[in-house]
C-alpha cells in the first residue's frame, strides 16, 4: 500500500498500522457508539415517517399499512446495524455483543409497543 508523503517508513517497505491510523484519523473499531446512535436515530426517523401517516394522512395511509411498513423497515435497519457493527469490529479484540443485544432488544420491544398502541 502506498501512503501519502510524510507517512510510512520512507520507502523501506511495509506499512505499519500506526501510520494508517494516523493518516485516517480514527480507527473504525472505535466507532461502535456512533453506529449505535445512528441506528437509533434512523429507527426514530422511521417512526416519525410512519407517524405522519397515522396522524396527518390517515385517509391515505391506513394504520395496518403503516404498522407493516414500520416493522419491515425496522427489521431492515436492524440487519444493517448488526452487520455494520460486526464488520467494523472484525479482527479486533473489542466485544460489543452486549451493546448490540440491548440496542436491538430495545428497538424490538419499542416496535412491538408502537405497533400495538399507536394509531389505533
Percent of the residues in the chain that have a pLDDT greater than 70, as a whole number = 77
Pairwise CA distance, residues 57 & 52, whole Å: 7
118 grid coordinates: 399507536
| HSE of 99, CA atoms in CB hemisphere, 13 A | 17
Q: Is the pTM of this model over 0.85?
A: no
Residues contacting 42, CB < 8 A, separation 6+: 77
pLDDT digits (tens, 9 = 90+) for 35-59: 999 999 999 999 999 988 888 888 8
The pLDDT score that the predictor gives to residue 2 is 62
pLDDT digits (tens, 9 = 90+) for 73-94: 999 999 999 999 988 887 777 7
Amino acid at each position: 500500500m502506498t501512503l501519502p508523503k510524510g507517512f510510512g517508513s520512507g520507502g523501506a517497505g511495509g506499512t505499519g498500522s500506526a501510520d494508517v491510523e494516523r493518516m485516517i484519523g480514527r480507527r473504525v473499531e472505535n466507532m461502535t457508539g456512533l453506529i449505535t446512535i445512528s441506528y437509533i436515530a434512523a429507527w426514530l426517523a422511521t417512526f416519525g415517517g410512519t407517524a405522519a401517516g397515522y396522524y396527518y394522512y390517515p385517509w391515505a395511509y391506513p394504520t395496518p399499512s403503516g404498522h407493516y411498513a414500520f416493522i419491515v423497515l425496522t427489521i431492515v435497519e436492524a440487519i444493517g446495524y448488526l452487520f455494520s457493527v460486526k464488520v467494523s469490529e472484525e479482527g479486533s479484540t473489542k466485544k460489543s455483543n452486549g451493546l448490540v443485544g440491548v440496542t436491538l432488544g430495545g428497538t424490538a420491544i419499542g416496535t412491538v409497543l408502537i405497533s400495538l398502541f399507536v394509531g389505533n
